[in-house]
């Protein structure tokens, strides 16, 4: 079709990217000189009129749409996946762009940097690779199947061994603080609340406790004055 249009444009004396209206104007200008009514016994003029009519018919035909590009092959590119929030530890389905094509990648729980996952492409039914290049477990840090974070608690809750509620990747959990006001605070270990792998393994959520000091006011000072003692090595 492109070669036919170029031929038609040459016969009409117009650019190949001219509009159909420009083609009709060029046809009217040229057909006036060779029309059979004006030159009834001129075989050459009749042939030129036929060529002009054929050229106009070809030029007025719309260009066929360009064929859709084929689905990208595996070797075309690799999708880089950056995971954060619940997708980092729970997994799930993610929509990704693959060179202009849509795709879905199913992220298993417990995925790690360097894992390669398949992308199901929307068009062509093909597959392409995706590599996990970054996993953000904030506010926790990953260590194997364990997650570790820091939990701030009040001095009152530590002294009274209070029951508190703490967030975990798998929902809030109520825990009782161990009585340890005169020793370095031991971390809380919540088993089964860390990374859960596709194989059914489950790590722990380890929370380092940090005591929040009360505000500095007269009442607090008066309450703590009776507990003051000289520093000592332990």
Q: Which helix (H) or strand (E) holds 97?
A: strand 92-98
Domain boundaries, the chain: 2-60, 79-136, 141-225
Q: What is the mean pLDDT of residues 128-141?
A: 85
CATH 2.60.260.20 fits 141-225, yes or no: yes
The radius of gyration of the chain from alpha carbons, rounded to an integer in Å, stands at 39
Give CA separation, 29 vs 35, 144, 190, in Å.
Answer: 11, 81, 89
Where b means 16+ CB within 10 Å and e means fewer, 146-164 reads bbbbebebeeebbeeeeee
139-143, 180-184, 197-201: least confidently modelled range: 180-184
Q: How confident is the model at residue 74 (pLDDT cuts 50, 70, 90)?
A: very low
Stronger pLDDT, 99 or 143, i.e. the higher one: 143
Q: 0.85 cut: is pTM over it?
A: no
State the pLDDT at residue 75: 47
* CATH numeric code, 2-60: 1.10.287
- Whether the domain at 2-60 and the domain at 141-225 fall into the same CATH topology: no
Q: Considering the domain delimited by 79-136, tell me its CATH architecture.
A: Sandwich (2.60)
**DSSP SS3 for 42:** coil
Give the burial class of 133: count Cβ atoms within 10 A of its Cβ; 0-12 exposed, 13-18 middle, 19 or more buried: middle
Residue 53, token pair as written in the block? 């009519």
Give the C-alpha separation, 155 to 181, whole Å.
8
State the pLDDT at residue 65: 65
- Whether the bond between 139 and the residue before it is cis, its omega within 30 degrees of 0, is yes
171: β partners: none
Q: What is the mean pLDDT of residues 212-220?
A: 81
Give CA separation, 43 vs 58, 100, 218, in Å.
Answer: 23, 56, 117
pLDDT cut 70: percent of the chain above it: 88
142: β partners: 147
């Amino acid at each position: 079709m492109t070669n036919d249009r170029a031929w038609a444009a040459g016969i009409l004396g117009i650019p190949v990217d001219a509009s159909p209206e420009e083609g009709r104007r060029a046809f009217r200008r040229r057909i006036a000189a060779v029309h059979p009514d004006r030159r009834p016994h001129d075989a050459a003029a009749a042939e030129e009129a036929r060529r002009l009519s054929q050229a106009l018919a070809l030029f007025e035909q719309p260009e066929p749409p360009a064929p859709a590009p084929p689905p990208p092959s595996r070797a075309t590119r690799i999708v880089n996946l950056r995971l954060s929030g619940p997708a980092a530890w729970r997994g799930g389905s993610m929509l990704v762009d693959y060179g202009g094509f849509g795709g879905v990648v199913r992220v298993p729980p417990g995925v790690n940097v360097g894992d390669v996952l398949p992308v199901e492409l929307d068009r062509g039914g093909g597959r392409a690779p995706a590599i996990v290049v970054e996993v953000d477990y904030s506010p926790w840090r990953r260590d194997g199947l364990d997650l570790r974070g820091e939990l701030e608690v009040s001095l009152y809750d530590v002294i009274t061994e209070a029951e508190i509620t703490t967030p975990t990747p798998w929902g809030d959990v109520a825990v009782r603080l161990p009585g340890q006001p005169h020793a370095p605070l031991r971390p809380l270990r919540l088993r089964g609340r860390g990374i859960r792998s596709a194989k059914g393994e489950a790590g722990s959520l380890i929370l380092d406790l940090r005591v929040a000091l009360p505000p500095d006011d007269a009442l607090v000072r008066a309450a703590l004055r009776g507990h003051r003692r000289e520093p000592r090595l332990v």
